[in-house]
Structure 1
Amino acid sequence: MRIATWNVNSARARVDRIGAWLDRSDVDVLAIQETKARDDQFPASVFTDRGYEVAHHGLSQWNGVAIASRVGLEDVRVGFPGQPGYGDPEESEARAVGATCGGVQVWSLYVPNGREVDHPHYAYKLRWLKALREAGAARLAQAPDAQIAYVGDFNIAPQDDDVWDMAAFEGSTHVTAPERAAFEELVGAGFREVVREHTPGPGVYTYWDYKGLAFPKRRGMRIDFVLASPALASRVSGASIDREERKGKGASDHAPVIVGLDGNDGASVAKVKEAGA
């Protein structure tokens, strides 16, 4: 089985590219983030026409998450236990949807950006990550053999070589100690990040800004991840980042990340073979 995650930066704007990528990547499960659509606006047919079942959670033109699966889509859940909202009073945001696909509980996650270190959104981001860790730890305590995948755009670069130049990010979100600690606490709760060992850096990224020719200049960030529970991590046999999908007209600013399970190497049409490839 092959599981992928992809921040598409608007499902409606990217619908043709999504369909073409599904055709050539042949993944079994695709978790997507930043659909930027209400449920009634989401282009579900790009999935259903190809034999995928799909669950989408979208409340407005912002955020939005979905899971498409051709190996079953059961026990769909909107939001994880304890997931906080944003604002005063708090309002729910479409940042998490889960479903069981081929025996694996897949969560498509769009972690809050944080905006600026002194912004209320930054504190919200840390609360959100703490709640996710608590929910994950509770689930593993209840069912240690559960196969769980937390996948998506985490909006955190956990290591210095996950950004093209640390000096350029001085004082910015995504690289601060509290954010990195929150990511490590997820790992400490029992979830292993399973992509990096198959796509080692430095210079291997999943996101490149649209501005300043960031992509051709290789000025990117690694912020999209697959965190697997112990029972699932033991099944991972390969992973890749489809950097080719960031090229060309109408591309998302993120590349798909693919993980293969049980003998499938997770290779995409453009598997990263070396740092900076």
Structure 2
Amino acid sequence: MRLATWNVNSVRTRVDRIIAFLKRENIDALAMQETKCKPEQFPLGAFADAGYEVAVHGLNQWNGVAIASRVGLADVATSFPGQPAWAAKEGADAVVEARALGATVGGTAAGPAGPRTAGATPTPAPEPVRLWSLYVPNGRELTHPHYEYKLAWLEALRRSVIGWLAAAPDRALALAGDWNVAPRDEDVWDMSVFEGATHVSAPERAALAALAEAGLTEVTRERVTNYTYWDYQRLRFPRNEGMRIDFVYGSAALAARVTGAAIDRDERKGKGASDHVPVIVDLA
């Protein structure tokens, strides 16, 4: 099975690029973040024509997550246990934002988008994976309430992971997405630029390290080196002034199946690119 995660920064704006990527890279299941639309606005037809069914979670023009799969899609969840709520402005009701979507992918042979080689015998159905598409809150500033919200969000996720692994220790679990945290100094082009800023603070990094303590492994780190995000401003991409903030954390059962990983840097090029690029993981 070939999984990928991608903050697409508006699925309606970039649907053609997304479908082209799915076909070019033979992706079986894609976790998307920042889709920026309600379910009824999602371009489901384009994905269906390419052979993918899609689970969508979006409340408005902000945030939004989705999973597209051509190998089965079941048991969809639109939040994880204890996921914190956020009030967008003072006086507004706090809501659980569209930042997490879980589904079981696999168990079905590749559909119309496969087989991978013309004339080849279709591959057997891949073993299922419990895949989560996660869009971690940005945090904004270290003194902003959104930063505390971000830390609470990650802590609630950690507690959920402990529960999931306790209930099904042999399950292949993948938490994929835009984590809005650069866990190591080398994950940003210049640490001095980020002094006193979010994404690199000790509490944020500790929150990701706690996922390892809970039983997860980041499965791309040792297999590929590159940034995954470059801001649109100040020629960040041509100067390669990027950040590595998109990751795939897996259970022991998932990590044992990983045979390779890639970061598709070329997806940041050309007209209409997202500011993030896809991260790909191959599973035996």
Q: TM-score per shorter chain, which class?
A: over 0.9
Structure 1 residue 249, shift from structure 2 partner = 0.4
- Name 1:238's counterpart in structure 2: 260
**2-structure distance, mates of 1:23, 1:148:** 24
**2-structure distance, mates of 1:121, 1:32:** 22
Tell me the SS of whatever aligns to 2:133: strand
TM superposition score normalised by structure 1? 0.92
- Name 2:112's counterpart in structure 1: none
The answer as to 2:136 corresponding to 1:132 is no
Structure 1 counterpart of 2:28, which letter?
D
- Name 2:214's counterpart in structure 1: 189
**Please, which runs of 5 or more residues in structure 1 have no aligned partner?**
263-277
The answer as to 2:19 corresponding to 1:15 is no
Structure 1 counterpart of 2:231, which letter?
D
**2-structure distance, mates of 1:251, 1:72:** 28
- Name 2:97's counterpart in structure 1: 93
Structure 1 residue 90, shift from structure 2 partner = 2.1
Tell me the SS of whatever aligns to 1:13: helix
Structure 1 residue 241, shift from structure 2 partner = 0.1
**1-structure distance, mates of 2:183, 2:66:** 25
Structure 1 residue 104, shift from structure 2 partner = 0.4
- Name 2:195's counterpart in structure 1: 170
Structure 1 residue 235, shift from structure 2 partner = 0.4
- Name 1:58's counterpart in structure 2: 58
Structure 1 counterpart of 2:237, which letter?
F
Q: Deviations over 1:2-30 (max 9, x none)?
A: 00000000001111111211121110000
Q: Which has the larger radius of gyration?
A: 2
Structure 2 counterpart of 1:148, which letter?
L
Tell me the SS of whatever aligns to 2:234: helix
Structure 1 residue 144, shift from structure 2 partner = 0.8
- Name 1:114's counterpart in structure 2: 139
Structure 2 counterpart of 1:120, which letter?
P
**1-structure distance, mates of 2:12, 2:19:** 11
**2-structure distance, mates of 1:89, 1:41:** 24
- Name 1:275's counterpart in structure 2: none
Tell me the SS of whatever aligns to 2:158: helix
- Name 2:111's counterpart in structure 1: none
**Please, which runs of 5 or more residues in structure 2 have no aligned partner?**
107-127
The answer as to 2:150 corresponding to 1:146 is no
What percent identity do the matched residue pairs reach? Answer: 64
- Name 2:274's counterpart in structure 1: 252
- Name 2:35's counterpart in structure 1: 35
Q: 4+ residue stretches of structure 1 with deviation over 6 A? A: none
Structure 2 counterpart of 1:105, which letter?
R
Q: Is the 8 A contact 1:75 1:99 kept in 2?
A: yes
**2-structure distance, mates of 1:130, 1:154:** 13
Tell me the SS of whatever aligns to 1:134: helix
Tell me the SS of whatever aligns to 1:97: strand
**1-structure distance, mates of 2:2, 2:22:** 12
- In angstroms, what is the RMSD of aligned CA positions? 0.8
- Name 2:249's counterpart in structure 1: 227
Structure 2 counterpart of 1:98, which letter?
G
* Length, aligned pairs only: 259
**2-structure distance, mates of 1:45, 1:198:** 35
Q: Is the 8 A contact 1:18 1:46 kept in 2?
A: no
TM superposition score normalised by structure 2? 0.90
**2-structure distance, mates of 1:5, 1:182:** 20
Structure 1 residue 89, shift from structure 2 partner = 4.0
Structure 1 counterpart of 2:95, which letter?
E
Tell me the SS of whatever aligns to 2:222: helix
